Structures are given as structure tokens and as C-alpha cells.
């Protein structure tokens, strides 16, 4: 009976050992899996570190670009202000040119009137010159007649 109980205990111990051996193998397998997962996690951790480093570099570049964009916006704002100022100046120049064009038209009208007047004066002058020449011819004839008459009168006086 003791032998049977001892045999039973031995059988149970063997079964326990077999279960423990099976569990040991499972633990070893799980340990290997955990080690593999730890390696993967370590690789992932390293990969995340590299990504973080790249992200920091990208943030730095983005900050630089942001600063450049701010400078460009400032320059664009300055250019817009200058364009607005130039637009005002152009409007003033347009008004000045319009006023100048009006005055030029008035002066052109006056010049045309002056030209007409000069043309009339030239015509009148030519008429006056022609009349004067005719008068000079008449005066010359009259003076010749006058001299001739005086000579005739002088001859008549002498003949008397």
C-alpha cells in the first residue's frame, strides 16, 4: 500500500515534472518571444528617436521659412503701401495732364485764331502795299504833271 502510494506519488511527480518541463518550454518560448518583441521595441524606439530628430530638423527649417515668410509679408506690405502712394500720385498726374490738355486745346484754338488773324493781316498788308504802290505811281505821275504844269506856267509867265 505504501509502495502503491509511493508509486502514485512518483507518477504524479513525473506528471508534475512533465507539466513543469512543458511549462518551462512554454516559458522559454515566451521568453524568446518577449526577447524578440523587446528587440522590435528597441528597434522601434531607435526608429522613433530618428524620426524625432528629423522632426526637430524639419521644425527648425519651418521656423526659418516662417521667419522668411514674415519678412516677405513685411516687404509686400511695404510694396503695397508704395503702390497705393504711386496710385495717388498717378491720379494727381492724370488730373494735371487733363488740365494741361484742356489748356493746350485752348492755346491751340488761340493759335489757330492768331494764325487766321495773321493771314488776314498779311492779306490786308498786301492790299495796303498794292494800294500804296498805286498811290506812289499816282503821286509820281502827279508830280511829273505838276512839274510839267509848273514848267508850262513858267513858260507862260515868260511869254507874257
Residue 120: its pLDDT value, please? 95
Give the pTM.
0.43
Residue 155 confidence (pLDDT)? 87
pLDDT at 57: 96
Compute the distance between CA of residue 144 and CA of residue 141 in angstroms, rounded to an integer.
5
Task: Give the per-residue pLDDT at 1.
Answer: 79
Output the pLDDT for position 132.
Answer: 94
pLDDT for 83 equals 92
Positions of the chain with pLDDT under 50: none
pLDDT single digits (tens) 6-44? 888 888 888 888 888 888 889 899 999 999 999 999 999
- The cell numbers describing 148, all together, are 510839267
CA distance 68 to 93: 36
Buried b (16+ CB within 10 A) or exposed e, 84-122: eeeeeeeeeeeeeeeeeeeeeeeeeeeeeeeeeeeeeee
Amino acid at each position: 500500500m505504501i509502495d502503491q502510494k509511493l508509486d502514485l506519488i512518483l507518477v504524479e511527480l513525473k506528471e508534475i515534472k512533465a507539466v513543469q518541463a512543458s511549462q518551462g518550454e512554454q516559458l522559454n518560448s515566451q521568453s524568446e518571444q518577449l526577447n524578440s518583441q523587446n528587440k522590435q521595441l528597441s528597434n522601434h524606439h531607435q526608429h522613433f528617436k530618428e524620426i524625432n530628430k528629423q522632426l526637430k530638423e524639419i521644425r527648425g527649417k519651418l521656423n526659418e521659412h516662417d521667419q522668411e515668410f514674415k519678412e516677405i509679408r513685411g516687404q509686400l506690405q511695404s510694396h503695397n503701401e508704395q503702390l497705393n502712394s504711386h496710385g495717388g500720385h498717378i491720379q494727381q498726374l492724370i488730373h494735371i495732364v487733363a488740365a494741361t490738355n484742356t489748356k493746350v486745346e485752348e492755346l491751340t484754338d488761340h493759335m489757330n485764331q492768331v494764325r487766321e488773324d495773321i493771314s488776314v493781316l498779311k492779306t490786308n498788308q498786301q492790299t495796303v502795299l498794292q494800294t500804296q504802290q498805286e498811290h506812289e505811281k499816282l503821286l509820281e505821275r502827279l508830280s511829273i504833271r505838276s512839274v510839267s504844269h509848273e514848267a508850262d506856267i513858267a513858260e507862260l509867265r515868260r511869254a507874257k
